[in-house]
Structure 1
């Protein structure tokens, strides 16, 4: 129980405020400090009677968000003041008009944007990603809204332990789905990594704690190795009279886990667990020269891997990131990634946009408007989006978040940054929407190519146009950028619009005849039932007769079944404190799945995307047409489901498995030897008494690889199989294969 001592709390609040002011990335004037103090006093007064779920004073949260904004993101006084005030309008009696009177229209506008985002965050909309559409719309108002919201989400993630498990998973899934990608796109790589790590901690705690434990176990060896490598490089750099410092850091927990999963390797097999960063001081004139000089020194000492060299100095990433990356074979024949960057480049990598603008003056940064260009593209995507389907908008938007860049040139030699997979048509739209709409073809390096031609770095592209050309539906199949997709869809929708009003009126009449009231929620439900991407598609299909009264009756009948199912499952799950979130096992007796707090037996299907078996941690997901689907907590689709449809997720667990077997694929590889096949089949079939459905094996140059398909009762039996197979002579690696 949290014991309240008001005097101590007042002292702690004052201490945290002073600490926040002392640790700001930007220098604050006296006028700045007066503004921040005024915001702090108002926030403290407004939140004085409020407490967080931990029992602490609520003002701790705005102070923490302001500290992240001031130090970790590096924004100025206006943003710090807005961070302190970000919950005032939403949670207290103060209004937006009050804020505008006290602080002016600029701060009021930012607070308004933050309040709108917070309001939709608390709603259980049938399409959760509509929240994100509204979040993205704030970009057209002020980018600081997004940055403060990222800070707010970061502090919420840092204090997520006080929430119940179901809420933790929802918030963590949302964070992976949108806030980490946003932080990445704003150049906030440190914050992006922390958001991903914290999300993994709650969405897949077993994997998170496994990697954390492994990192702790290897910490001493890693530090010893970094020091050895650093000494060799430091000596050479000192001889050249360079002013530098060297840091060593391990990769984030999330990136290590992702690499293990993607490459299907163990922790020990991830060869680039850490990177070494050389940060040097330089004026703007010698900055690039010194980077290549250090590169030369590093590659003189250690052999580089040519395929792993990345020059982000000559051509910075679209986020403004600059650095020279080279992977070399270090001591003990281990691969080491070395990142070479100036103090300015390091600040941009750490602080993103804030440092980017700080260094604009005095440095010739040719791509210093990249962030502004990206924001302009996002605005255009949103403005051109005629669809009411927020999920489609979000998918288009996310196309450009994590993509790698290529660099292509106009006939005049101007550099354009596009994403890998971009075509000649994407290039046309990147120049101007009108050029894209009338694009006939292109010349790439003076050779005539079709619109679908894939571009690569270094290409010089000339677009050929005709006023008679118009966007076509098949164009959507070979464009990859969100700008091109949204513009083509907008053009195609113009043709459909003449049908939509007629279709909408017709739909309203048909529903009224069937005694159903037309509403946005109802339309959303109809859209999902018929698998339409947008509401415009529904109106269009009604107008041309594809959806008639008979089809609408089918929808109404299915809706009754679906609502009945949801109402039975809407009870809140009981939260049991369990640090590692591990399901209690009833060894050898699990054969049934039960749902909800009262452990009801309901009809369900096992999801084929993740193939859960008894003992796996699972959850139920109520689908529109196919009842309950059961997924593993670590299902590749779990993040999207929790982020967008958390209200349809229901608790589930295994309670018995005595009478059921499940098909599981196990990969096995090792050194081929005489009798290895016989040993494997004898162990599984005779010693362990497990039925084998299929066994495929290939041998090449003394190495074998095979896949065993077995009938397994539960995870306890699965662990025994994996362990026994691993102990066989010649077997190097055994692993359960996850379905993709």
Structure 2
């Protein structure tokens, strides 16, 4: 092959690496040249030109080592084979590369091939997801760095690409790759990617800013010279080694500020920054930076709101610098103070930590650097440093629709979750699907990077058992919503049908009485369940008519009374037992889980654990639990005996119940405080509300709502309140 074509790359390798590495790079060039023979870029140049240019950027601008340079040269060989060759041929190729260039090179090139095959969509809403996905492919951090170099070379050569590719490549560079470069501290790469992207996305704005920068260049140089005169004189007298650079803000940064602040070019006051770079030993860095800051602020007034100290606490990506903005000749000037080492880090990212002025060399420091890079990547994104086919550490996965849209789902999400994530109707009618062209059920768990297609059926509707395997809130809520609507529809239909039948049968029963009796007979807890049985034809009207006729004739009532008498007899025989006997196990057991729709605590008497209670079957609200001494208890027992359910508390029940205590006390200073202290501090109980008002005869009267674990605590609570000096009465009202 013609090595002279790639002499620039070979010269870089000779300047940075050993003879062994030089031979390996030449071997990689020769190998790639053979594999890519006849493959050309858009301008007709060999494809290897691109790979060699990427390798040059990787060495000179990113600062990576031998394996990264070789991987850059071979990345198109693997990418094209991965895309075009049959599986057996591709495996043979990777094995050949593994034997000649090592395991790391295979791993890096495979990571790059995976990223290249992503169908990235130009969507602001999905930019964060795509950035996370790109990094999640990079088990080895070098993959993402080489990908950035690859993208930088593409943007530098974008003019040779077809015009229809300009906008997409530029959008990706600006919104995806430049953001990753920023997070990793590669500011030079970030700025160049953004500037080139802007040139193609907004050419008129780009040219306008370039022109304005050129027009104002002479005036800027003259101003900077005047500005620096007193500073450099003082620094020279102090004997400091330093040099000064002026940095013009990137074109993209100027453009962004103009748009965000709605100002013309002249309205962007920090077009440039002056950088004072000190040459000093590591241990002197902080002291000398602050010395320079002191000199600058001796001559110019600083803006206290624009002070940034990234020397005491560096940025997470390693950036160190001292920034201040000062006033001079009626304009604001940003001054950046840093050392040579800090400047190298700012320009080249964290690679410079280990390569600057011989501070650590060799494999050990490379590992330190890559370790630090891994930490950065973990801080930057959600699903990081994980194999593509493994579960991300963050608990999130990224999956694609067949047309390339990216969706982010929680780990463990199923095909049905994905369907609901796309659209409610798609989820509701989902009957199965395909994952990577493989037919699967709606329960199929998805993995990172899956391409998912949903299949539907018109007669499919959400089922209650779907709730057992969906994990996303959206899917759960939509399924529950549908089930509630179905229940409401069944309730309406069942009630209408039963009302119609009762009217036809001419039975002397209200619908509420009929439903209450049927609920009791079939041991269901709500009237809505009776209506659902009727609507779904699980309960036929012949059976209903027979049951209601027996109930009206008294036959069923006689049987119920006999059973109730037997239960009472057994209760009496078992007095003193902690738990009701086995025969009374038919009683409703109330535990701490009172959130279920099976029963709820009545508001009229507010029962708490330990109170004697009974259940009352309502038409639409399940079973309501009342205290036996409830003001409404007698009426309910006499008028609707068939709707009364025996109930007891589970001994092991735990929970927090609210009780209301009525208090009458002398109207003395601090009385309310004494009461709250007795409840909160002495008894360690939570007060939910307190309400007192003046009463006749110099008294206070009011109520306190307190959370208690059970009725046994109420007597202690009342006793403690009564011990307070000035309290006349305290008693539970509900």
With normalisation by structure 2, the TM-score equals 0.52
3-state SS in 2 of match to 1:327: strand
Select 1:522's aligned residue among 420, 444, 453: 453
Aligned to 1:211: 209
Aligned to 2:107: 109
Superposed counterparts of 1:132-531, under 5 Å: 132-139=131-138, 141-330=139-328, 332-358=329-355, 371-377=373-379, 378=381, 382-388=392-398, 510-511=429-430, 520-523=451-454
- 2:66 is the alignment partner of 1:56: no
Deviation at 1:28, TM superposition (A): 1.6
3-state SS in 2 of match to 1:325: strand
Question: Judging changes above 3 Å, is the alpha-carbon distance between structure 1 residues 503 and 270 closer, same or farther for their aligned structure 2 residues?
Answer: closer
**CA-to-aligned-CA distance 1:552-607 (integer Å, 9 cap, x gap):** xxxxxxxxxxxxxxxxxxxxxxxxxxxxxxxxxxxxxxxxxxxxxxxxxxxxxxxx
Q: Is the 8 A contact 1:389 1:535 kept in 2?
A: no
Deviation at 1:184, TM superposition (A): 0.3
Deviation at 1:133, TM superposition (A): 4.8
Q: Is the 8 A contact 1:541 1:547 kept in 2?
A: no
Q: Is the 8 A contact 2:399 2:406 kept in 1?
A: no
Question: What is the alpha-carbon root mean square deviation over aligned residues?
Answer: 4.5
- 2:67 is the alignment partner of 1:78: yes
Select 1:546's aligned residue among 482, 487, 500: 482
3-state SS in 2 of match to 1:187: coil
3-state SS in 2 of match to 1:52: coil
Deviation at 1:543, TM superposition (A): 4.7
3-state SS in 1 of match to 2:277: strand
| Alpha-carbon separation, structure 1, partners of 2:455 and 2:355 | 45
| Alpha-carbon separation, structure 1, partners of 2:210 and 2:195 | 10
Aligned to 1:624: none
Question: Judging changes above 3 Å, is the alpha-carbon distance between structure 1 residues 240 and 124 closer, same or farther for their aligned structure 2 residues?
Answer: closer
| Alpha-carbon separation, structure 1, partners of 2:372 and 2:143 | 19
Q: Is the 8 A contact 2:273 2:333 kept in 1?
A: yes
Query: Which of structures 1 and 2 has the larger relative contact order (alpha carbons within 8 angstroms, sep 6+)?
Result: 1
**CA-to-aligned-CA distance 1:348-375 (integer Å, 9 cap, x gap):** 0011021134469689xxx998654333
Q: Is the 8 A contact 2:184 2:317 kept in 1?
A: yes
Q: Is the 8 A contact 1:193 1:254 kept in 2?
A: yes
Q: Is the 8 A contact 2:308 2:324 kept in 1?
A: yes
- 2:10 is the alignment partner of 1:21: no
Question: Judging changes above 3 Å, is the alpha-carbon distance between structure 1 residues 272 and 542 closer, same or farther for their aligned structure 2 residues?
Answer: closer
| Alpha-carbon separation, structure 2, partners of 1:524 and 1:116 | 27
Question: Judging changes above 3 Å, is the alpha-carbon distance between structure 1 residues 98 and 549 closer, same or farther for their aligned structure 2 residues?
Answer: farther
Q: Is the 8 A contact 1:503 1:540 kept in 2?
A: no
Q: Answer with 1 or 2: which has the greater Rg.
A: 2
| Alpha-carbon separation, structure 1, partners of 2:113 and 2:190 | 23
Q: Is the 8 A contact 1:89 1:115 kept in 2?
A: yes
3-state SS in 1 of match to 2:335: strand
**CA-to-aligned-CA distance 1:159-204 (integer Å, 9 cap, x gap):** 1112233311111111112100100011000110111111111222
Aligned to 2:79: 90
3-state SS in 2 of match to 1:249: strand
| Alpha-carbon separation, structure 2, partners of 1:43 and 1:347 | 33
Q: Is the 8 A contact 2:400 2:406 kept in 1?
A: no
Question: Judging changes above 3 Å, is the alpha-carbon distance between structure 1 residues 131 and 232 closer, same or farther for their aligned structure 2 residues?
Answer: same
Q: Is the 8 A contact 1:272 1:336 kept in 2?
A: yes
Deviation at 1:131, TM superposition (A): 5.8
**CA-to-aligned-CA distance 1:50-89 (integer Å, 9 cap, x gap):** 2110122222111111111111111112211111111111
| Alpha-carbon separation, structure 2, partners of 1:47 and 1:225 | 54
Question: Judging changes above 3 Å, is the alpha-carbon distance between structure 1 residues 380 and 100 closer, same or farther for their aligned structure 2 residues?
Answer: same
Aligned length: 432
Deviation at 1:301, TM superposition (A): 2.1
Deviation at 1:525, TM superposition (A): 11
Question: Judging changes above 3 Å, is the alpha-carbon distance between structure 1 residues 147 and 339 closer, same or farther for their aligned structure 2 residues?
Answer: same
3-state SS in 1 of match to 2:137: helix
Deviation at 1:210, TM superposition (A): 1.2
Aligned to 2:714: none
Question: Judging changes above 3 Å, is the alpha-carbon distance between structure 1 residues 231 and 31 closer, same or farther for their aligned structure 2 residues?
Answer: farther
| Alpha-carbon separation, structure 1, partners of 2:393 and 2:417 | 19
Gaps of 5+ in 2: 362-367, 385-391, 442-450, 463-469, 487-734
| Alpha-carbon separation, structure 1, partners of 2:455 and 2:287 | 58
Deviation at 1:215, TM superposition (A): 0.9
Q: Is the 8 A contact 2:129 2:406 kept in 1?
A: no
- 2:35 is the alignment partner of 1:30: no
